[in-house]
């Protein structure tokens, strides 16, 4: 009875072996080790080269506005005009006070000259002479103070026309006609958007690979099919204590103004070359979530999920999942599965 069972099992095994599909004929390629560009993937955000919220620097009612959101302005272009009447009256008063101080100083100078003669003749004592000379000297100080007040009043008149501090684009106007503003009131925001700055953070372990004039590439959600470029220009002298990373800024040209301050960026930072396993692009099976290759182990296909690097010259770096010297299937058929027997 035992002999019969053994015979049946042996026959079943032979039948299964006979029923197994024949090996699939495939083309193979050896995984090579080559120097390839190495990129550090980080995130960053775009910000204006310069931006400011322009203060009124004067007090008064808004009589006229000259800009709207998105207006392009040159340096010195008017943004807002304030009521100048109060400032003009103050200037007139200050100039009158300065003129009066000049007259008083001239009279005091005459008194000083007379005091010199009287003192030399012995007509007045030393104490009286010192008093008159002091009046003369303080008259000059009064003139300088009065002229300073007049200059300040003139500045107040000029400041009623609020101007752009530099060429750029208006982000927002904060005031309307009829509104009263003080010197600290915000009038408008102005941005310089060409070039932009890309601010990104580099982990401590990669700090040694970052340097000035280093190229960067990045993408933004608004233009998913476009790649933008910049150059590292500014590096912080220290790591941030809490996150242990380095803040780096790259300068990004923005002639067409497609990029906007505040955009989030997915950044690739070129950190040089390193030897990595590479395969022909035809060896990849790209999925919605991940890519894979079929390595051949003991005559069977072994599917490996791989992390891809930046392709170059028709080959793709594989950052994980395989090693140099292994062989992979070229142009894997959709029917090829993990464990399928293959032959070249």
Domains along the sequence of the chain with CATH: 23-36+275-343 (2.40.420.20), 41-50+192-272 (2.40.30.170), 84-159 (1.10.287)
Q: What is the pLDDT of residue 2?
A: 46
- Find, among 145, 159, 143, the residue nearest to 88 by Cα: 159
* Separation between Cα atoms, residue 122 and residue 220, nearest integer Å: 91
- Cis previous bond, 47, omega within 30: no
| pLDDT computed for residue 264 by the predictor | 95
- Of the candidates 254, 251, 269, which has an alpha carbon nearest to the alpha carbon of residue 197? 251
Tokens encoding 312: 């170059």
The answer to whether the CB of 94 falls within 8 A of the CB of 150 is: yes
pLDDT at position 64 is: 92
pTM over 0.85: no
The per-residue pLDDT for 58 is 85
The pLDDT score that the predictor gives to residue 223 is 92
Tell me the mean pLDDT per 10 residues along the chain, length 344: 51 52 87 85 92 90 92 94 73 72 74 73 74 71 76 70 92 93 93 94 89 92 92 93 92 94 91 86 87 91 88 86 90 87 86
Name the percent of the chain in helix, strand, coil, to the closest 5.
30, 45, 30
Predicted pLDDT of residue 231: 93
**The pairing of beta strand 342-343 with beta strand 24-25:** parallel
**Torsion sign (Cα): 28, 33, 36, 41:** positive
Q: In this structure, how many other beta carbons lie within 10 angstroms of the beta carbon of residue 69?
A: 11
Tell me whether residue 231 is exposed, middle or buried, using C-beta atoms within 10 angstroms of its C-beta: 0 to 12, 13 to 18, 19 or more: middle
């Amino acid at each position: 009875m035992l002999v019969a069972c053994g015979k049946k099992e042996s026959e079943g095994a032979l039948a299964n072996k006979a029923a197994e599909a024949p090996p699939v004929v495939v083309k193979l390629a050896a995984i090579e080790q080559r120097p390839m560009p190495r990129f550090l993937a980080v995130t960053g955000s775009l910000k204006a080269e310069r931006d400011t919220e322009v203060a009124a620097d004067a007090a008064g009612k808004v009589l006229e506005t000259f800009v709207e959101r998105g207006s392009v302005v040159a340096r010195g272009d008017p943004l807002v005009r304030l009521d100048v009447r109060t400032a003009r009256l103050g200037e007139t008063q200050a100039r009158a006070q300065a003129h009066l101080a000049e007259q008083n100083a001239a009279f005091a100078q005459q008194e000083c000259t007379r005091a010199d003669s009287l003192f030399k003749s012995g007509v007045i004592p030393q104490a009286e002479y010192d008093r008159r000379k002091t009046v003369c000297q303080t008259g000059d100080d009064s003139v300088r103070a009065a002229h300073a007040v007049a200059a300040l009043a003139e500045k107040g008149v000029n400041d009623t026309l609020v101007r752009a501090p530099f060429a750029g684009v208006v982000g927002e106007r904060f005031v309307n006609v009829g509104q009263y503003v003080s010197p600290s009131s915000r009038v408008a925001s102005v941005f310089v958007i060409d070039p932009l700055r890309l601010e990104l953070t580099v982990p401590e372990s990669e700090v040694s690979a970052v340097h000035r004039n280093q190229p960067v590439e990045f993408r933004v959600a608004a233009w998913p099919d476009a790649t933008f470029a910049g150059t590292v220009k500014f590096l912080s002298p220290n790591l941030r204590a809490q996150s242990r990373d380095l803040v780096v800024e790259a300068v990004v040209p923005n002639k067409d103004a497609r990029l906007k301050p505040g955009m989030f960026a997915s950044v690739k930072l070129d950190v040089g070359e390193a030897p990595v396993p590479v395969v022909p692009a035809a060896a990849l099976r790209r999925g919605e979530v991940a890519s894979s290759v079929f390595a051949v182990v003991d005559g069977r296909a072994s599917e490996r999920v791989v992390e891809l690097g930046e392709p170059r010259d028709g080959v793709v770096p594989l950052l994980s999942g395989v090693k140099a010297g292994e062989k992979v299937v070229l142009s894997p058929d959709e029917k090829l599965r993990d464990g399928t027997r293959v032959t070249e």
